[in-house]
Structure formats: structure tokens, C-alpha cells
Amino acid sequence: MAIVLGPNRYGKAEVRLVRVTRDGDTHHLADLTVGIALAGDLAATHQRGDNSGVLPTDTMKNTVYAFAKEHGVAEPESFALRLARHFVADQAQVHTARVSVEAYGWDRLGPHSFQRQGSWTRTCTVTHGGDGTQVVTGITGLVLLNTTASEFHGYVTDRYTTLPETTDRILATAVDARWRHLTDAAPWDDSFRGARDALVAGFVDTYSYSLQQTLYAMGTRLLTDRPEIAEVRLTLPNKHHYPVDLAPFGQDNAGEVFLAGDRPYGLIEGTVTRDDAPPASAEWYL
């Protein structure tokens, strides 16, 4: 029996970076968490402990800070592209670099004062190597809720089914969406805002008979509105809201009082894609 080394990579995770750009009395703020993973000719360090081809992960961290100073941050995708291309070009043993970014938004309160935005976070992942460059943008923690215009009935039942059918329910979710761009050059901020708005519109404008239907409608709306995007992967937890039984108190509950459930919850996942989109150059949904 032969034992061989399978796919592998290594890097620096969760590098926290805050970059202040001082434009006179007006300051601009970028707040990121950056992850780096490198793959390539690294068998020697795994099999023999030979570190001659290993760039220390501490060096990767330092590169993030140095690039933030030298080049600025601007859009998360642009920053990730610059880092990924650097590691592949600078290190002959590195064949592929994957750089992921979480970007936290801040609303301006004054020339140098800011307030952290709500629950959602912007994300991006850039993979650069011999197979090309792939850019994936996303959003996580985007909480959406419709108080009506949602039904759920006609589903499979068996001897363990207790869930009653409904023609009027609250539909709520916390959207985790990632979308793959067709190119590695785009107006990233405009594209992100347009994609986020399309997802929200798809949720708001859909009369829902299932969260699966809503997922497909949201993905379809995004691809319709944003021609620069090849496909989108959506993960939608069903944030259940249970009507409270007020009968013991002599009160009716006509869809007014609910218990917001925490767990367990339904989890709906799916990918919506253009049928003519080129294939991905890397596993972008991990």
C-alpha cells in the first residue's frame, strides 16, 4: 500500500486590519479581516520537515500591513487581488494563492467619526494561480423578514409529521450569499451594492410558497440585474416564528404575537447560475 500526500495548503488566518486614510481633516476608514492560504510545491515540508520552501505565516501577516500602507485598501476585491498576485509572483514554489476578506462597514458621523453598520458583513475571496484568477464576492448576516406573503403547505407528511400547514406566516432569514464574477476587473463597490440590492428586492418582491422558491427568486434577480456575475450560492436559514397560544388568557392571536425561535432551524442551500457561464477555476463555495 502506498501512502501519498493529498491536496494541501497553509497560510495566515484572521489578520485584523484597520486602515485610516487621512485626507486633510476628513478621514476614511477600512476595517478588514484577511485570510491567506498558499498551495504549491510544499511536499518536502510535510514529508521531511524541509522548510526551505515555506514562507512563514508571520511574513504573510506583515505583507498585509505593508501593502495596506503602500497601496491603500480601497475595495476589498482590489486589495485581495493585489495580495494574491504578489504571493504567486514572488514565491516560485507557490502555485496558487487564495485570499479571503471580511469587510466591516462604518457609517460616517463626521469628518473623523464613524458608527459601525448593522449585522451584515461584506466578503470576498480571490483565488489566483495557473488556472487563472477568480473573484467571489459575498454578504453574510443580511437579516430579512416578511410579516406575510408567505405560505407553506402541500408538503410530504408521514407518521412523524406534526407541523400544521399554513397560508400566512412570517418568513425570516439571515442571508449568506456568495457570487462568482465573470472577470477579475469590475467596479467592485458598485457591483456589490447592486448585488445586495437585487437580493433584497428578490426577497421583498416574491410571494413565497417555500423558502426554496424564495432562494431561486433571489438568485434569479441578482443574475438578471448584474450581468458581470456568473453564479450565486445562497445559504438561507429559516428563522422560525411560532404563533403563541393566547387561548389560556382568553385572547385570540390573529398573526400578531410570535415566539422567535433560535434552534433548531431549517437550512436551505442552493446555487443559481447562468447556463452559459464558464466553469469555475477553483472551488469557490467552500
Catalytic pick among 12, 61, 128, 239: 12
Choose, from 27, 33, 45, 57, the residue flagged as catalytic: 57
| Same domain membership, residue 152 and residue 122 | no
Locus of grid cell 448593522: 118
Distance (Å, whole) CA 134 – CA 280:
8
Listed residues 105, 126, 147: the one ending a domain: 126
Domain shared by 211 and 270, yes or no: yes
Per DSSP, the three-state class of 242 is: strand
Q: What confidence score (pLDDT) does residue 67 get?
A: 98
Query: Does the active-site annotation cover 57?
Result: yes
Q: Does 259 fall in a domain?
A: yes
Q: What pLDDT does residue 28 have?
A: 96
Contacts of 151 (CB under 8 A, 6+ apart): 166, 167, 168, 169, 208, 209
Q: What residue type is assigned to position 270 of the chain? A: G
DSSP string for 158-170: -TT--PPPBSS--
Using only C-alpha atoms, the chain has a radius of gyration, in whole angstroms, of 23
pLDDT at 118: 86
Enter the C-alpha cell of residue 228.
Answer: 458581470
pLDDT along the chain (286 residues), means of 10: 96 98 96 98 97 98 98 96 98 98 97 94 97 97 98 98 97 98 96 98 98 98 98 98 97 97 96 96 76
240 belongs to the catalytic site: yes
Mutual angle of helices 188-204 and 211-225, in 10-degree steps: 140
Residues 168 and 246 in one domain: yes
Q: Say how many CA atoms lie within 13 Å of 194 toward its Cβ.
A: 14
Same-domain pairing of 122 and 257: no
Could you confirm whether 12 is annotated as catalytic?
Answer: yes
What pLDDT shows up at residue 285? 64
Q: What pLDDT does residue 286 have? A: 57
Written as nine digits, the cell of 81 is: 487581488
Q: Whole-prediction pTM value?
A: 0.95
Catalytic residue among 61, 128, 239, 240: 240
Please check whether residue 3 lies inside any domain of the structure. Answer: no
> Which ranges of 168-285 does DSSP label H, i.e. alpha helix?
188-204, 211-225
pLDDT attached to residue 282: 85
How buried is residue 159: exposed, middle or buried, by Cβ count under 10 Å (0-12/13-18/19+)?
A: exposed
Residues 196 and 93 in one domain: no
